[in-house]
Amino acid sequence: MSDHTRYQDDIGAYLLGALNDLERQAFERHLTGCSECRDELERLRPAADALPGSVVQLDPSPGLKQRLMAEVEGDSKVVPLEPHRRRPTRLLAVAAVLLLGIVVGFGVAQLGGDDSRTVTATVAKAMPQAGGNLEISGDDGTLRLHDMPDLGGARVYQVWYQHDEQLVPARTFEVGRSGMGTVELRNVESADGVFVTREARGGAQVPSEDPIVSVPL
């Protein structure tokens, strides 16, 4: 039996979660190079995706939602800056410049004709080639960074919004080997600043380091 035939037989078991870890990893490696198996997987996927909906539909107790939302509400309180970071917005940005030895200054370039503007990002001295900007249009923005170090699999970059003296966790992103990162940011116009740190995969609720990218607004 060829490798391909063997893996083709695994497609149903894979979709049903019935391969052991080693088999699943081997199958996924095969998938990356086999369009025939990928096509067959996607063809059968709707059937597997429908299975959870096949069960008798029941109501959980109201207490479940109450317990869950109590935990969520507790988690979602914004993160106050630690005492040593508790300072006005512009001072925070200036402090970051002094602390990290920023090599790219920050400035604001107004684009004419509409309500968009582009703010240059400041980056840490440890990344001499890196740079980027935040383009804001209306309420939302796009952060574009280049020549950022690839953090590999364990760590990711994370964006933070600053509101007054609080840092609010936002999206994580990776740059890959290209070093390019593009992140869409919603409602960024109301923030006092945007920062980027390096965090464990999955993101953090509190930044673990001083920002390596700063965009004062």
**Residues in contact with other proteins by the rule CB under 8 A:** 9-13, 15-20, 43-44, 46-61, 63-65, 67-69, 71-73, 75-76, 78, 158, 168-172, 186-187, 201-203
Nearer to other proteins, 77 or 177 (CB): 77
Sheet holding 79-80, edge to edge: 79-80, 166-173, 155-163, 193-200, 213-216, 122-123
Compute the least distance from the CB of residue 41 to other proteins, in Å: 10
104: Cα separation from own chain's centroid? 24
Closest approach of other proteins to the CB of residue 11, in Å = 6
- Cβ proximity to other proteins: between 145 and 185 the closer is 185
Taking the mean position of all CA atoms in its chain, how far away is CA 212? 16
Q: Kindly state the smallest distance separating residue 91's Cβ from other proteins, in Å.
A: 26
The distance of closest approach from Cβ of residue 83 to other proteins in the complex, given in angstroms and rounded to an integer, is 23
| Least distance CB 198 / other proteins (angstroms) | 14
The rounded distance, in Å, linking the Cα atoms of 188 and 53 is 38
- What distance in Å separates the CA atoms of residue 144 and residue 137, rounded to the nearest whole number? 14
> Contact, 192 vs 89, CB < 8 A?
yes
Q: Give how far Cα 95 sits from Cα of 19, 81, 100, 175, Å.
A: 53, 14, 8, 26
Q: Which is nearer to other proteins, 56 or 98 (CB)?
A: 56
The secondary element (H helix, E strand) that includes residue 36 is helix 35-50
> 13 or 26, CB closer to other proteins?
13
- Our CB check for other proteins shows the closer of 75 and 114 to be 75
